[in-house]
Structure 1
Amino acid sequence: MIISNIAAPLLGLVDTAIIGHLPQSIYLSGVALGAMITSFTYLLCMFLRMTTTAEIAHAFGARRSDLAQQTTTHAVVIAAVLGLAIILLRPVILQLAWAVIEPDPELQRYASQYIDIRLWAAPAALINLVVLGILLGRQQAKYAMGLVIFTNAVNVVADIILIIGLDLNVVGAAWASVLAETSTAALGLWLIRDLLPPWRQWHITPAYFKQFGAMNRDVFIRSLLLQFCMAVMTGYAARFGAVTVAANAVLMQFLMLISLGLDGIAYAIEALLGAARGQGSRHKIRLWMRLCALWSLLFACAYSVVFWGFGDGIIRLLTDLPEVIQTAKLYLPWLIIMPLLGHWSYYFDGVYIGLGLTRAMRNTMAISVLGVFVPTWLISQQWLAEEHANHGLWLALSLFLLARGVTQWFYLKRHQRRLST
């Protein structure tokens, strides 16, 4: 589950690492900003992966192949339609992004090139989310891992050819990711071919569409709020200059590395709890919750130790630009404590999806963003001197992750008390 979780983050990580070793930091800043906006767009649709995992796992536990096929059909159709809509809305997405971020003209030009190319693969990228959800829901983690290895092998080879070999820089990074996403979608649909009915038998069931749509709506709102916080870390930092944007982009890859492990555990608990829910087994639900909580804590401690001992080396692997390295090292301590503060939020996300508590997931996210992240961000920018303003962004993100874990724990306790009565 952990290894199969690295597809989308590694596309940006590989692009960042290769671009980060080119002689001008503007290339790294352009790819970082472009990848942030592209990821923001795609990750708003992460509800497709989450709800698909929950429904497929429930069908898997209940041994309902008809329900699994119904979920697959609805999810693929929704992914394809949303992907086409994103392609048509490319100019609007760019206009909205630049209205909010307001980068300098050169940075905007490079980032626009990257985004405009990447979004052509939107249908493939969203179908990949559905395929991943199906494989994880059926507990076929090895197939998901194989798909991930294929994705990143294509991306690495294409990056080397297009960026280094053909000297295409930002454009090459974008086309490499497009090639990786589209080829992965084709392979993924082949892997789930047993759940895809003949084309003439594809149809939408209104009652199920309403139920599935309600779950997707709740997780969409949750994803929108989460990606707003992630976007602020790169987008708002554009006000501090290209070097700070690049440094934050490098450090955000640390957060992606955290997600590889902690989200992998969350994916596992989604599948395990979903199957246990389909079987109607409260004993298994309690067992998986305890075991996954232990693994989440162990991984959080391991991440903090690794970042404390090797953080400087990881930064230098991602870039060799001296000014970016020095700036990133100033904010590295935030990444050392962040796994310990935030691992509960990853864990409870998996619990909530597995138990089908999507509305509560949405509400706890709203409280954490609007009640903690936004006030901390705005107040810190008013009170901190300009040279320390970026510390305010990292403080807001750290407290936000902590708040998510606390609010999710509190609600789950209330939910368990209601069930017991």
Structure 2
Amino acid sequence: MVPLAGLVDVAFLGHLPEIRYLAGVALATVLFNYIYWTFGFLRMGTTGMTAQAIGREDREGVILIGLRNGLIALSLGLLILVLQQPLRMLGFTLLSATPEVKASGQAYYDALIWGAPATLLNFVLIGWFLGRSQSGKVFLLSAVGNLSNVVLNYLFIVRWGWQSTGAGLGTAIAQYLMLLVGLILINREIPLVKIHQHPAKASFVRQILNPSDLRAAFALNGEILVRTFALVSTFAVFTNLSSTLGTEILSTNAVLLQVVTLTAYFIDGLAFATETLAGVFLGRGAIAQLTQLIWVSGTASLSVGILFAIAFILIPTPLFGLLTNHSAILGRIGSYVGWLLPVLGFGAIAYMLDGYFLGLTAGRILRISVLAAASLGFAPMAIAAWYFRNTHLLWLSLALFMVVRALSLAIFVPRTLKTNSIDRCQRSDPP
């Protein structure tokens, strides 16, 4: 649901007379990736910790994790709103593009930023439902958020001509609708008034703010934050280098990255399930089941990645034609679409293993892996791409990033299948 809504938005913008609106939104998305996905630990940490509490049959712990991370999310969301102007100034100063493209990106930013509190709270809601194996509720939230996003963006972009501003406003409103439905689902299961009226409410509040639990949450979240920041930075540099090669290359790569995003979300469905099951198995102490989980999830994820890549390589014009009607972009895509095979093939393994280690709350391993991939796999070839102004080298840098990320995560898998090694994987001591 998430990537399909994004593809529809790209199609709305890609069929406007001027391509600068699509390019501007692609540029602003780099900034929002930093703002939002840097706080992706709110979803990832919530899922793993909740799943392990479920495995231990700790019902009170499950509620405390949701409330504690929800409080953190709300605080961060409000802080983003307070700092929106400095973030805007810094972000667009560092990003490279023509004045027209930047203006379109800034219009998108000014509208979308108001959805920050809802977006971060939705991270926690999704993580909490996933940790409790309630994927049906996650699907409902996704359906509400993304279908409303499509409808609103159609009205704002196509019907009313609000262009980049409409794209940002539609997405922001959709996040609040998604949050409202999520709170209703929680209230039906655990009435919030009961928590408010609980006789031991003061004790409950103290447990939410318990220093040791907060430290544990921030320790895990810190590792995931570094991991996510490095991951987002890789794609940000990729997009920024694309923009230095011209608006057409930026738009072409933005369309190709939509395919990467589409596939990644399909694989993330498997990764989320892997994350939940890994956490539950660990909470139960059922280490032997982790081996079977790795093989099943790994085979399914790789199959999805390869199938998507082959489909877009074999029939590029009809599929990419759904996203844009600009002949210059469609003509360029054929030269670079082959890079989807290594990017999605190795990326599939990396995404799946990400979910596995998140379920084990092994943040240290995730941090080590992505830093190795960014510094050893991506950076050297990205520098070469910038120096030689070569788009193929730029895609090679992204492929190498996925290769190193998948291999570096795979190296740690055997030690997680030994009972006495789990604690070492979760701690932050050196490997």
- Alignment TM-score, normalising by the size of structure 1: 0.93
Conserved 8 A contact 1:15-1:31: no
Choose which of 38, 41, 61 in structure 1 pairs with 2:35. 41
| Unpaired runs of at least 5, structure 2 | 423-431
How far residue 10 of structure 1 moved from its aligned partner, in angstroms, is: 4.3
State the identity as a percent: 29
- The corresponding residue for 1:350 is 355
* Cα pair 1:12 1:35 within 8 Å, conserved: no
1:275 corresponds, among 269, 274, 280, to 280
Give the equivalent residue in structure 2 for 1:368.
373
Q: CA deviation at 1:188?
A: 1.2
**1:402 corresponds to:** 403
1:152 matches 2:146: yes
- 1:417 to 1:68, Cα distance in 2 relative to 1, 3 A: closer
Give the conservation status (yes or no) of the 8 Å contact 1:48–1:129: yes
| Paired amino acid for 2:153 | D
Question: Alignment partner for residue 104 of structure 2, among 110, 126, 136?
Answer: 110
Identify the match of residue 67 of structure 2 among 64, 73, 93.
73
Query: How many equivalent pairs are there?
Result: 411
Equivalent residue number for residue 198 of structure 1: 196
Following TM superposition, by how much is the alpha carbon of 1:420 offset from its aligned partner in structure 2, in angstroms? 7.0
Q: Do the aligned partners of residues 309 and 217 (structure 1) sit closer, same or farther apart at CA in structure 2, a change above 3 Å counting?
A: same
Q: Note the C-alpha offset of 1:414.
A: 4.5
Aligned match of 1:180 in 167, 174, 188? 174
Match of 2:21 in 1: 27
In structure 2, the residue corresponding to 1:317 is in which secondary structure? coil
3-state SS in 2 of match to 1:345 = helix
The equivalent of 2:426 in structure 1 is: none
Q: What's the secondary structure of 2:322's corresponding residue? A: helix
Corresponding residue of 1:311: 316
Q: Which amino acid aligns with 1:397?
A: L
Does 2:158 align with 1:164?
Answer: yes
Deviation string for 1:119-168 (max 9, x for gaps)? 11101001111111011111111111111111111111111111111111
Distance 2:93 2:333 in 1: 27
Q: Is the 8 A contact 1:11 1:177 kept in 2?
A: no
CA distance in 2, matches of 1:360, 1:353: 9
Give the SS at the match of 1:318: coil
Cα distance in 2 between the residues matched to 1:301 and 1:163: 34
Match of 2:137 among 116, 140, 143: 143
In the alignment, the residues of structure 2 paired with residue 157 and residue 133 of structure 1 have an alpha-carbon distance, to the nearest angstrom, of: 26
State the AA in 2 paired with 1:139: S
Q: Following the alignment from structure 1 to structure 2, what is the Cα–Cα distance between the partners of residues 168 and 325?
A: 25
Q: Deviations over 1:252-285 (max 9, x none)?
A: 1011111122111111100001011111111222
Please tell me the root mean square deviation across aligned C-alpha atoms, in Å.
1.8
Structure 1: stretches of 5+ with no match in the other structure: 1-5
Task: Tell me the CA shift for residue 415 of structure 1.
Answer: 4.9
Which residue of 2 is the match for residue 3 of structure 1?
none
Kindly indicate whether the alpha-carbon contact (under 8 Å) linking 2:110 and 2:165 is maintained by their aligned counterparts in 1: no
TM-score by length of 2: 0.91
Q: State which of 234, 238, 257 in structure 1 corresponds to 2:262.
A: 257
Report the secondary structure of 1:377's partner residue: helix
Q: Distance in 1 between matches of 2:4 and 2:223?
A: 27
Secondary structure of 1:320's counterpart equals coil
Aligned AA (1:204):
L
Amino acid at match of 1:238: S
**C-alpha spacing 1:216/1:230, structure 2 compared with 1 (3 Å):** same
1:330 is aligned to 335
